[in-house]
Amino acid sequence: MNAAPMTLSPPSSQNRTRPVRLAPVAWAIVLLSAAGAQAQAQAQAVPQPAAVADADAGALSPVVVSAERTGGGVWRGAASVDVVDGEELREGQAQVNLSESLGRVPGLVIRNRQNYAQDLQISVRGYGARATFGVRGVRLFVDGIPASAPDGSGQVANFPLGGADRIEVVRGPMAALYGSSSGGALLLYTEEGQHPAQWRTGMVAGSDGLWRLSTQATGKTGAPKEPGWSYALDVSRFETDGTRPQSAADRTNANLKLSRPHEGGRTVLVFNQHSSFALDPQGLERKDLDSGVFKTDPGAINFNTRKSVAQTQLGLAFEQALGGGHKLELMGYGGQRQLMQYQSIPLTSQAGANNVGSSGGVIDLDRDYWGWNARWRNARDWQGGRLSLSAGLASDHQSDVRKGFENFTGTSANPTAIGVQGKLRRDEVNRAQTMDPYVQAEWRTQDLTLMVGVRQTQTEYESSDRFLGNGDDSDRKTFQATLPVVGVRWQWSPALQAFASVGKGYEIPTLNEVAYRTDKVSGFNTQLNAARSTSAEFGLRGRAERLGWTATVFDIRTDDEIVVQNNSGGRATFQNAGRTQRQGLELSGDWRHGPVSLVSALTWMQAEYRDAFLTCARVGCPVAFPRVPVSAGNRLPGLPIQQVFVQAAWDTGWLGSRVVFETRHAGRVMVNDLNSDSAAGHTLFNLGVHFKQDRGDWTLREFIRVDNLTDRRHVGSVIVNDGNFRFFEPGPGRKLLLGLEAQRRF
């Protein structure tokens, strides 16, 4: 699009989303309240055994994780699980993005695109790397409530980092127990209110007009011996001018958790609200990247590319001991999400006889979603160990009213304005729902853990076309699979143990990925199948007085890998490419001696296509007949071969100060399946100084942080298989960040 800029729509009410509706939430709460009340009335008042109660988050935990947490991970589990606690997430950080603090987790690639219209780029052992926006192939949860839709797509912008108690990162075969598209799982749990009550508030300011304000309040009503409701509130506001033109953004989050114990159980209510507005700078071509200037493609500015989101959800969890080690857990949630996005699709790609299937350059999405999880658990002593059993049924639903509009008014040859909402080009209702029964068992002694689980997953897609000017594109498709996993952990000595697991994985295409057929029509691509994988891992864990470490090797073999077939004119079509293989090594360590500590994580991974296939390599490539071969042995794009994180810290003892020095290295990354270009590897150095003063009931914290000390030019992330060759999203140069927080105990 080379036309001169036309009339642009300002950031007005047109860019914001509509009020939130909560009808699905109300029904979920009514149904679960009735079920919970009946279960409580029938329950025998038998306390839950302490060993089990301390091992998991009850009804707020998506699956059973009954293992001792120590250091940065799980010591007695048969799976790869790393735990990053809330203090580590917040200390000396802006508390805006997960990428700030999760570099210490091996096997996890998490990149800040510096583009808040597209969210973070997250992959676990290679799963999710193809996502050009949002998160794919990795399941997300906040207090047990899915932040991923039934089709596997998700976003982490609503994660309440300021009020987080911890984040658990699950990798390997056991992640399949979270359902389809679970190559890994990120689970955030918020703080619990305790006595005494606490209040803290903080602010951060930095380069590029960045600032954040947040407030947290936690506590309990009633007396310590007769507690009432426990509460935890987190509210935050963030704004930035962005690192490039057309990259300003703002975000507001609010999260409230209320819980109340009753004899043999508890009830938990969770409320979350998120709203954001972000301009979209898009990616850069190689020539613009190499210019050394923080540019933005003219099309993004001409069309005023932007996205606004509003989301509200409510969840209710109930758990009740039933006697004899039995326990009932119920969880339900519902919410509503609206999204409005303006893209820079060329006018000629939207209008004309050859583009009757185009959905335009404006996306208007209105989503209702809800779900529930009902689970029985039993824990007892058996054969000299502890046996934990669970069985349940989980169901998630989404209903998307999706409209598409032209991003101009007038005609494509003579537009009166661009970057505005024009004629309707798409109007359909897309639905996805899952119904997953699952069973899991774990037997654990001091020296041995055996875990086995199976989840049967079924996802139904249905599309009802309400825009019939280009034909009826209504269709439906069902994906289903049985996912067994088995794991073992054996302890050779109190300081050394080994673990291994193997299982089946299953990644379904998202609703967005099945939206277009390969014959250049907008109907469902019913020929696109789910990717099926077999995953195995073997690892060692060690711990001593000052040291904890892990070493894990893994092998993942996938059939029917989902890849891009064509990506042009604002529309991407997908196909199954055959077999891929991911093999890797993960190392992590945590060493502490007096005032000095060292945390490190290393990931090496070779991810490649084992079968050749055909794709398109240019705009205008015949959609139904891709002609360019992708060779067997090509690397999967979006994934560095190696990634290293090292953090050294020194508690100086002067004014409660702590000096932190970080090194982050990422290897070379291919930008597309053809491996025709790549982003070079880079190493960044970050330095921070933190201060802490305790003054009676008050605690003050301050920090100063400089990221990218050497002002290294680098590519922060890549847009995989971009059809316009705008693959590169430049990382920021040297940045300064200042923070202040005050905390009061009552």
How far, rounded to the nearest angstrom, does the alpha carbon of residue 666 sit from its chain's CA centroid? 20
CA distance 441 to 391: 9
Alpha carbons 54 and 58: distance in angstroms, whole number: 9
Least confident range of 307-311, 327-331, 543-547, 622-626: 622-626
* Dihedral pair phi/psi, residue 177, rounded to 5°: -70, -10
In a domain, 58, yes or no: yes
Residue 681 is encoded by which pair of tokens? Answer: 């590897």
More confident residue, 689 or 133: 689
CA dihedral for 679, 671, 559, 632, sign (positive or negative): negative
Question: How far apart are alpha carbons 405 and 427 in whole angstroms?
Answer: 9
238-294 pLDDT, tens per residue?
Answer: 999 999 999 999 999 999 999 999 889 999 999 999 999 999 999 999 999 998 888
Contacts of 124 (CB under 8 A, 6+ apart): 107, 108, 109, 137, 138, 169, 171, 175, 183, 184
Of the candidates 217, 77, 110, 205, the one whose C-alpha atom is nearest the C-alpha of residue 160 is: 217
Confidence of residue 370 (pLDDT cuts 50, 70, 90): very high
Q: 5 in a domain, yes or no?
A: no
Query: Side-chain half-sphere of 587: how many Cα atoms within 13 Å?
Result: 8
CA separation (Å) from 685 to 105, 529, 619, 710, 723? 18, 43, 39, 7, 33
Count of structural domains, the chain: 1
Across 511-534, average pLDDT: 84
> Element (H or E) spanning 87, and its range?
helix 86-90
| Torsion sign over Cα 238, 241, 243, 245 | positive
List Cβ neighbours of 426 (8 Å cut-off, separation of 6 or more): 359, 360, 402, 403, 404, 405, 467, 522
Is 583 or 226 the better-scoring residue by pLDDT? 583
Parallel, antiparallel, or unpaired: how do β-strands 139-142 and 184-190 relate? Answer: parallel
Mean pLDDT of 51-79: 65
- Confirm whether 390 is domain-assigned: no
Is residue 607 a contact partner of residue 639, using CB atoms and an 8 Å limit?
yes
Residues 6+ apart with CB under 8 A from 521: 357, 470, 471, 473
727-737 mean pLDDT: 96
662 part of a folded domain: yes
Asked whether residue 10 is assigned to any structural domain, the reply reads no
**Alpha carbon distance 88, 84 (integer Å):** 6
The predicted pLDDT at position 621 comes to 62
Query: Which H/E stretch holds residue 88?
Result: helix 86-90
Residue-wise pLDDT tens digits, 306-363: 999 999 999 999 999 999 999 999 999 999 999 999 999 988 888 766 677 778 899 9
Neighbouring CB atoms inside 10 A of 519's CB total: 11
Torsion region of 282: left, alpha or beta (phi above 0 gives left; psi -120 to 50 gives alpha): left
- On whether the CB atoms of residues 430 and 402 are closer than 8 A, the answer is yes
Cα torsion 509, 178, 161, 72: sign: negative
Strands 678-679 and 385-405: unpaired
Output the DSSP codes for 628-656: EEEPTTPBPTT--SEEEEEEEEEE--STT
Q: Which residues contact 354 (CB under 8 A, 6 or more apart)?
A: none
Whether residue 9 has pLDDT greater than 80: no
Give the chain's mean pLDDT: 88
Q: 143-201: per-residue pLDDT in tens?
A: 999 999 999 999 999 999 999 999 999 999 999 999 999 999 999 999 999 889 999 99
Selection from 64, 178, 171 nearest residue 507 by Cα: 178
SS3 150: coil
Long-range pairs, 651-658, Cβ under 8 A, ≥24:
651/595, 651/596, 652/595, 653/595, 655/691, 655/693, 656/691, 656/692, 656/693, 656/694, 657/689, 657/690, 657/691, 657/692, 658/689, 658/690, 658/691, 658/692
Determine, yes or no, domain membership for 4.
no
CA angle 518, 524, 529 (to 5 degrees): 75
Residue 69 tokens, joined: 């947490």
Check if the beta carbon of residue 522 is closer than 8 Å to that of residue 515: yes
Tell me how far apart the alpha carbons of residues 730 and 707 are, in angstroms, rounded to a whole number: 15
Give 416-428 pLDDT, tens digit per residue: 999 999 999 989 9
- What is the rounded CA–CA span in Å between residue 580 and residue 573? 19
Collapsing DSSP to helix, strand or coil, 33 comes out as helix
In a domain, 310, yes or no: yes
Q: Which two tokens stand for residue 360?
A: 């335009």
Report the CATH number at residue 588. Answer: 2.40.170.20
DSSP-based helix, strand, coil % in the chain, nearest 5: 10, 55, 35
Write down the pLDDT at residue 179.
Answer: 93
Distance CA 185, CA 587 (A): 19
pLDDT band at 492 (very low <50, low <70, confident <90, very high): very high
Tokens describing residue 257: 């958790």
What is the DSSP code (8-state) at residue 127? B
pLDDT tens for each residue of 117-132: 998 999 999 999 989 8
Range(s) of the domain holding residue 63: 22-214+224-385+401-485+500-745
Q: Rounded distance, CA 215 to CA 592, Å? A: 32
72 domain-assigned = yes
Question: Strand 385-405 relative to strand 408-410: parallel, antiparallel, unpaired?
Answer: unpaired
All residues at 6 or more sequence positions from 191 whose CB lies less than 8 Å from its CB, including other chains: 86, 163, 164, 165, 216, 218, 232, 257
